[in-house]
Structure 1
Amino acid sequence: MEIQEIPGGVTAPKGFTAAGVHCGIRKNKSKKDLALVFAEKPCDAAAVYTQNKVKGAPILVTKRHLADGKARAIICNSGNANTCNADGEEKAREMCRLAADALHIAPEDVVVASTGVIGQVLPIEPIRDHVGTLAAHLSVDGADAAEEAIMTTDTRPKQAVVECKLGGKTCRIGGMAKGSGMIHPNMATMLSFVTTDADIDAAMLQKALRAAADKSFNMVTVDGDTSTNDTLAILASGLAGNARITEEDADYLLFEQALENVLIRLARMVAGDGEGATKLLTCVVEGAADEHTARVVAKEVVGSSLVKAAMFGSDANWGRVLCAIGYAPVDVDVKKVDVSFSSVAGKVDVCRRGAGIDFSEDDASSVLMRNEVVIHIALHMGEATATAWGCDLTYDYVKINGDYRT
């Protein structure tokens, strides 16, 4: 059952190449803005998407293309979301056609995604003019360039790879993600593309992806805003040579666990790189009556603006944690709740059975000043647990979003 974390990105699994170039959608010529991932053979594929009623045109096109559970390429631009545009679907289909022509595959085998400003018309000319160059740059060394090309307000890349044995064969799962603001996923992520060389059919791939997303990206919040373009897609080349996974056997369970590892690592990177953030917040809820309760409480706490602001100020204002638990839409006996904060600087208990206890403010401040803080909550109502991730709320979040469009 060993899962090993190794360096790399979406080209680490067998059969995948990637590239990223600057095509001109973004004004900053030093920033890549068009990415491509390509598989040397047709892949089983799956995806989950935003549940926002307003959906980017690329999602509508990608859903149709993945209806048969097959794909071979992913094309994605940054700088423009291609959302709420009268010609949005036409542009998304054209992106697929352009990529398909450059790769000599069918347009229906292309996953398309866009990220950036909502409501501005996507210029197709820069993509048309550079897709040939993009395809020519495809390489097993192209994962970093592809990752850079999908980033918007991200300050650092987000990639993860794991390796495990399925049926005695070494299999890899590699992923990349972008996301910094407008992060409050619901059955999806911001943008994340995952590849694997495991041989697994599309139905089981979809099942594993949903399960892993629920424990990773669906437990992340930066600002409470669910994006219009959230897409998490995975392609499986099958080139590892393992016996094809078609049911929930031991190999499937290991694959799901390995996929969950990759997505949790990416989710933590997204939370820690929240717009203007200085701290990664982790909320661990224990002793819940059921997993749903634990998940809801954990996400409410890391999503609370008052909790996030207190963490920015290194203020052990545990009353804000209790407040967030209190308005969570689940049954909790607040008179049983314990709360503590921890970091590499130590741990401090601040609340016992729903009431404050004596603690050193200096010690608490020292704990909370670190760049990763864990909020521990014990509900004492059962055995279920859950973990959610978020970040602090800083002055820079408003600065970034005050003039994001202009």
Structure 2
Amino acid sequence: MVPRGFKFAAVEAGIKYSGRLDLGLILCEGAASVAATFTKNTIVAAPVTLSKERIKSGYTRGVLVNSGNANACNGEAGMTAAIKSSAKIAAELGIASEDLLVCSTGVIGLPLPAEKFEAAAPSLIAALCDDISPFSRAIMTTDLVPKVASRSFKSGQETITVTGIAKGSGMIKPNMATMLAFIVTDAGLETEILRKSLVRAVELSFNRITVDGDTSTNDTAILMASGAGGKLDDVNSFDEALTEVLKELARMIVKDGEGATKVVDITVTGAKDEELAKRAAFTIAESPLVKTALYGEDPNWGRIAGALGRSGAHDGGPFSILVGDVEIVAGGVGVGADAERRAHEIMTGDEFSITIKVGDGPGEATVTTCDFSEKYITINADYRS
């Protein structure tokens, strides 16, 4: 489902490889209200810095995205390339350069070939259409599948649509958003409302996933509203749809994690507060020992206990661990071989849950993670070759 007021395009620009889509454009037919969240990594790519500046007006006409090159750690030349790469395309569109946001994803430290953007400008603009699919593929790097999610709801007589497109497979522990995510809607919403809605939805979705515990230099989530559906009667309906879209995209990212064979929800309950529960859940979800045990379908609860104990979120009291609905640790003591056998059977599935009960407090949080397989090592060892 494509929200009214937006067009999409993608072309093969040869930025890193030949024969694959690697340059994408989302264009709003008029000025769109816009909000965004960006990486909290202290090493920031040039396109992030540029988009942060351009977004200050609260409005945009679209976003230009390339894959294959992160344009990060390139010094002043990186910023020059980011500005130049979008200038030609903005000129061809008849809009100001400042009205076009820019995002990049790929290898860090390689010069961005701005001349390839300029050469691709005419064909990119000619490709603008209602089809999201080419754009969703153009932003992929190590992703195996494109990631698109959509929801609709009624606002008065209008049907409002919220559609998100994301990429991400590795270097994933967002501390703001995701790797790259672009959300478009035909709702009529002011920038400040968009910003609040995006921050809430991101916290409940992209900020609750991890693949490998690494945060990218380029992480960006951009939300654009064309207003073609008119002003909303109920912002709550929009917030619900937006959160559902981002949660679906977040789960797609984990499922497509580099070399992943399993998706696992790690839930910590009974903590003193939600923040402590979240810290414990992330520590367990990111542990290489836990993640390799997930791949081996081994209910090695000692690894979970070890991660819990070093998380700083456990007071040393008794705890319980369940795989699915099978309790394998009660009061800090293993239940026995029969329970572990039943837990192993659950772990042979593609998706399952692990719950750690640490007390009687109100704090609860769930983090979605994946396993580590041999393929994760192969993908990342060969990434630049």
Q: Identify unmatched segments of 5+ residues in structure 2.
A: none
Is the CA contact (8 Å cut-off) linking 1:167 and 1:242 kept in structure 2?
A: no
1:335 maps to amino acid:
G
Q: How far did residue 184 of structure 1 move?
A: 1.1
Q: Give the superposition deviation at 1:28.
A: 4.0
SS of the counterpart of 2:317? helix
Q: 1:363 aligns with which of 331, 342, 360?
A: 342
Q: Partner of 1:256 in structure 2?
A: 239
The two structures have a TM-score, normalised by structure 1, of: 0.91
What is the CA deviation profile of residues 271-322 of structure 1, one whole-angstrom value per residue up to 9, with x for unaligned ones?
A: 1111111111211223332221222122222111111000000000112112
Matched, 1:385 2:347: no
Classify the secondary structure of the residue corresponding to 1:335.
coil
Tell me by how many angstroms 1:243 deviates: 3.8
Is it true that 1:285 corresponds to 2:268 in the alignment? yes
| 1:302–1:308 Cα contact (<8 Å) kept | yes
2:255 partner amino acid: G
Query: Matched residues in 1 for 2:267 and 2:81: separation?
Result: 43
Distance apart, 1:334 and its partner CA: 4.4
Deviates more, 1:76-85 or 1:157-166: 157-166
For residues 1-20 of structure 1, what are the structure 2 equivalents within 5 Å? 8=1, 12-20=2-10
C-alpha contact (below 8 Å) 2:85/2:115 kept by paired residues: no
1:60 match: 49
Runs of 4+ in 1 over 6 A off after TM superposition: none
Amino acid at match of 1:341: V
Q: 1:136 aligns with which of 108, 126, 146?
A: 126
Alignment of 1:46-57 (within 5 A): 46-57=35-46
Contact 1:322–1:334 (Cα < 8 Å) also in 2: no
Q: How far apart are the structure 2 equivalents of 1:334 and 1:269? A: 35
Gaps of 5+ in 1: 1-7, 245-250
Q: Is the 8 A contact 1:80 1:122 kept in 2?
A: yes
Give 2:254's aligned residue: 271
Q: TM-score scaled by structure 2?
A: 0.96
| Alignment correspondent of 1:4 | none
Determine the structure 2 residue equivalent to 1:316: 299
Residue 383 of structure 1 aligns to which amino acid in structure 2? P
Residue 42 of structure 1 deviates from its aligned partner by 0.5
User: Could you tell me which amino acid in structure 1 is paired with residue 130 of structure 2?
Assistant: V
Contact 1:16 1:40 (8 Å CA) reproduced: yes
Give the number of aligned pairs: 383
Q: Pairwise CA RMSD of aligned residues?
A: 1.5
In structure 2, what is the equivalent of residue 375 of structure 1? 354
Q: Structure 1: how far apart are the matches of 2:269 and 2:363?
A: 6
Between the two proteins, what is the percent identity of the paired residues? 42
- 2:74 is matched with 85
Separation of aligned partners in 1, 2:12 and 2:137: 10
Aligned to 1:339: 321
Cα displacement (A) at 1:361: 3.6
Distance in 1 of aligned mates of 2:294 and 2:129: 42
Mapping of residues 189-228 of structure 1, within 5 Å: 189-228=178-217
